[in-house]
């Protein structure tokens, strides 16, 4: 498989505070990369780098061979732990948002056949994540799990090159997490996605990922802990088939696709 | 049971809420009767009968000089000034507040200016407005705008700026430009806050309206109150003040209703 994203000697520094230190990494197309590490080890900074929310202070990041601009774009989708959906739009309008931005630069609203097409595609996507019965619900009327399903559908409608998940299941309870694991894996396979997921849950990282990265500081100066940054200390490729077995053994809910 | 846990039912709430108002009215009546027993021509605390007779003259009998019904002409003039002032302020708050809140370069350029204007006491600008704009309607509306718009702008700007960063990022990953983020993400989410800001600005807006009318006007609720003050006509002043309070409550109620109807998503506890 080809490399979709490559980081070369990337540093993130704020003044004399080093967050990420000399990180080099290649991410293959179609892989599911889990990122774990202790708090404050730059997991979120790493994600912000790929997202383009901030640029590296040194080093190069390339997406499909072209340098990544330090700005978010539609080629990288994202799901955050919270605030991933627009509270003022229904589920359907949330998912249509991507097409509306594309199709109408000035009004950001579609009309006529374009609107009908966007609506159908959005409804299909919502059905795929198990929200077919909640097209007209507002996010505030949904449970945490449903909101994350919505956020995933919203991101996938743009067919991003990479899907970034920032602790997407951190606020959900264990039963719903298992359902969400299944959903994410199914979407990853069906849509041939490349996923980078930051998580606190090591079991989740190994369950879902085809590759687990651990970010941590290699060196530590007790007098000046901020002088050394984090980098990849473990890089474990996983055999997906084995992970699949353990995953099924720990399922908690009975429903095949439950509408949590 | 602790007092913090004592919930009050609907019918009880109406009863409890009307109790102090009733008490106040009774106290007034008691004092007024007492004063009238001592001096039947007392003007300071007029009896309801005197209020009704002088108000019905203002409400139902056209003025001999102008041919207008004075009470309604006053109400219309004041509401018109208030409405135009609130309208202009609202549009300014929406446009300027939105841009200040969402675009960092604009905020850096114009933020200090807006803050500077907002800290000037508006009444101190009244002479400038009268000199520059004359004594007509423009100066009165301008006083309301100068008085409430800066506060509303800062409120909307702060609200937009405090929107979760994640939403702005998410919109961009869905392909939104600055303009699209502004009109599809920031604007709709600022609308409920805007209505809230109007509600809060309503009090100061009335203050500035009455002040402007008191100083230079020939019609208006504030003008009338300050005019009849010369004759100690409490029988007109008190009903006028009550009428202003009633109007303010009605406008506030209308704004709350609009917010709940139009932006149900923002009133999460109502679901």
Residue A254 confidence (pLDDT): 42
Question: What Rg do the C-alpha atoms of chain A give, in angstroms?
Answer: 19
**Strand boundaries in chain A, DSSP class E:** 3-14, 17-28, 32-36, 58-63, 66-67, 76-79, 162-166, 195-198, 211-217, 230-237
Instruction: Examine the pLDDT at B264 and tell me if it is beyond 90.
Output: no
Are residues B12 and B133 located together in one domain of the fold? no
CB pair distance less than 8 Å for A78 and B175: no
pLDDT on residue A241? 52
Tell me which residue in B174, B175, B268 faces A140 most closely, judged by beta carbons. B268
- Taking the C-alpha atoms of residue A41 and residue A187, their distance in angstroms, rounded to an integer, is 29
CA–centroid distance for A91 within its chain: 19
Number of domains in chain B: 2
Closest-CA distance of chain B to residue A125, Å: 15
Interface test with B, best of A44, A49, A72 (most B CBs within 10 A): A72
Tell which residue, B211, B230, B178, has the closest CA to residue B78. B211
Q: CB–CB of B260/B267 below 8 Å? A: yes
Report yes or no on B245 lying in a domain: yes
Which pLDDT belongs to residue B269?
Answer: 54
Answer yes or no: do B38 and B123 share one domain: no
3-state secondary structure of A214: strand
CA distance A24 to A59: 9
- What does the mean pLDDT of chain B come to? 91
Are both B67 and B167 inside the same structural domain? yes
Contact A86, B167 (CB under 8 A): yes
User: Once rounded to an integer, what is the mean pLDDT over residues A23-33?
Assistant: 88
pLDDT of residue B142: 92
Give the pTM. 0.84
Contact A165, A79 (CB under 8 A): yes
Same domain, B15 and B117: no
Give the sign of the dihedral formed by CA B96, CA B99, CA B104, CA B105.
Answer: negative
* Segment B34-41 mean pLDDT: 91
Percentage of residues of chain B with pLDDT beyond 90: 68
* B171 in contact with chain A, both atoms CB, cutoff 8 A: yes
Given a contact cutoff of 8 angstroms between Cβ atoms, the answer to whether A69 and A76 are in contact is no
Instruction: Please indicate whether residue B253 or residue A29 has the higher confidence score (pLDDT).
Output: B253
The CB density around residue B131, as the number of other CB atoms within 10 Å, is: 10
Gap between the Cα atoms of A177 and A199, Å rounded: 12
Closest residue on chain A to B184 (Cα): A108
| B41, B92: one domain | no
The Cβ of residue B119 has, within 10 Å, a number of other Cβ atoms equal to 7
Give the structural domain span for B255. Answer: 58-270
> Residues B136, B218: one domain?
yes
Q: How confident is the model at residue B243 (pLDDT cuts 50, 70, 90)?
A: very high
The 10s digit of each residue's pLDDT in A120-152 is: 889 988 988 888 888 888 998 888 888 988 999
Q: Which of A92-101, A166-175, B29-38 has the lowest mean pLDDT?
A: A166-175
pLDDT, position A1: 60
Q: Does residue B51 belong to any structural domain of this protein?
A: no
One domain, residues B80 and B197 = yes
Query: B183 and B259: one domain?
Result: yes
Given CB atoms, is B195 within the 8 Å cutoff of chain A?
no
What domains appear along chain A, each with residue ranges and CATH number? Answer: 3-249 (3.40.50.300)
Among candidates B167, B177, B180 on the partner chain, residue whose Cβ is nearest the Cβ of A83: B167
Over residues A201-252, the pLDDT tens digits come to 888 888 888 888 888 888 888 888 888 888 888 888 876 554 444 443 344 4
B169 and B260 fall within a common domain: yes
Q: Which two tokens stand for residue A82?
A: 């919270």
C-beta of residue A3 within 8 angstroms of C-beta of residue A26 = yes
Cα–Cα distances (Å) from A69 to A63, A77, B31, in that order, read 10, 15, 77
Here the CATH number for the domain that contains residue B126 is 1.10.3720.10
């Amino acid at each position: 498989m080809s490399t979709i994203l490559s980081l070369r000697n990337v540093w993130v520094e704020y003044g004399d505070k080093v967050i990420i230190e000399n990180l080099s990494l290649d991410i293959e197309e179609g892989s599911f990369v889990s990122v774990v590490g202790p708090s404050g080890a730059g997991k979120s900074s790493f994600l912000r780098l790929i997202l383009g929310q901030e640029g590296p202070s040194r080093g190069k990041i390339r997406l499909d061979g072209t340098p990544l601009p330090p700005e978010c774009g539609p080629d990288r989708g994202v799901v955050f732990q919270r605030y991933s959906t627009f509270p003022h739009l229904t589920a359907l309008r949330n998912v249509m948002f991507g097409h509306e931005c594309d199709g109408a630069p000035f009004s950001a609203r579609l009309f006529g056949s374009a609107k009908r097409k966007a609506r159908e595609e959005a409804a299909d996507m919502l059905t795929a994540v198990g929200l077919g019965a909640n097209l007209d619900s507002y996010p505030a009327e949904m449970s945490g799990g449903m909101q994350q399903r919505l956020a995933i559908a919203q991101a996938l409608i743009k067919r991003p090159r990479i899907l970034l998940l920032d602790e997407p299941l951190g606020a959900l309870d264990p039963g719903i997490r298992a359902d969400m694991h299944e959903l994410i894996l199914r979407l990853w396979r069906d849509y041939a996605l490349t996923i980078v997921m930051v998580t606190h849950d090591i079991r989740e990282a190994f369950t879902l990922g085809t590759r687990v990265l651990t970010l941590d500081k290699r060196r530590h100066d007790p007098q000046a802990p901020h002088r050394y940054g984090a980098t990849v200390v473990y890089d474990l490729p996983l055999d997906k088939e084995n992970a699949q077995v353990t995953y099924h053994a720990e399922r908690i809910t009975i429903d095949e696709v439950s509408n949590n | 049971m602790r007092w913090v846990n004592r919930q009050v039912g609907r019918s009880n709430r109406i009863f409890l809420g009307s109790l102090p108002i009733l008490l106040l009215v009774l106290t007034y009546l008691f004092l007024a009767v007492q004063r009238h027993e001592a001096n039947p021509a007392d003007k300071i605390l007029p009896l309801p009968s005197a209020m009704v007779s002088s108000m019905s003259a203002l409400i139902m009998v056209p003025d001999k000089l102008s041919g207008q019904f004075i009470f309604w002409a006053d109400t219309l003039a004041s509401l018109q000034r208030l409405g135009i002032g609130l309208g202009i302020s609202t549009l300014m708050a929406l446009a300027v507040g939105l841009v200040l809140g969402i675009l960092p370069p604009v905020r850096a350029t114009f933020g200090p200016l807006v803050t500077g204007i907002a800290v000037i006491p508006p009444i101190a600008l009244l002479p400038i407005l009268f000199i520059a704009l004359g004594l007509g309607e423009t100066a009165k509306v301008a006083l309301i705008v100068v008085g409430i718009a800066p506060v509303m702008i800062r409120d909307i700007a702060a609200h937009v700026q405090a929107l979760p960063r994640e939403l702005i990022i998410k919109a961009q990953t869905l392909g939104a430009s600055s303009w699209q983020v502004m009109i599809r993400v920031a604007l709709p989410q600022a609308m409920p806050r805007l209505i809230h800001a109007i509600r809060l600005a309503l009090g100061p807006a009335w203050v500035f309206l009455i002040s402007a009318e008191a100083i230079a006007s020939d019609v208006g609720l504030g003008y009338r109150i300050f005019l009849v003050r010369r004759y100690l006509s409490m029988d007109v002043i008190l009903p006028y003040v009550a009428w202003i309070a009633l109007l303010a409550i009605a406008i506030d109620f209308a704004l709350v209703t609009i917010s709940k109807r139009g932006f149900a998503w923002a009133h999460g506890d109502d679901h």
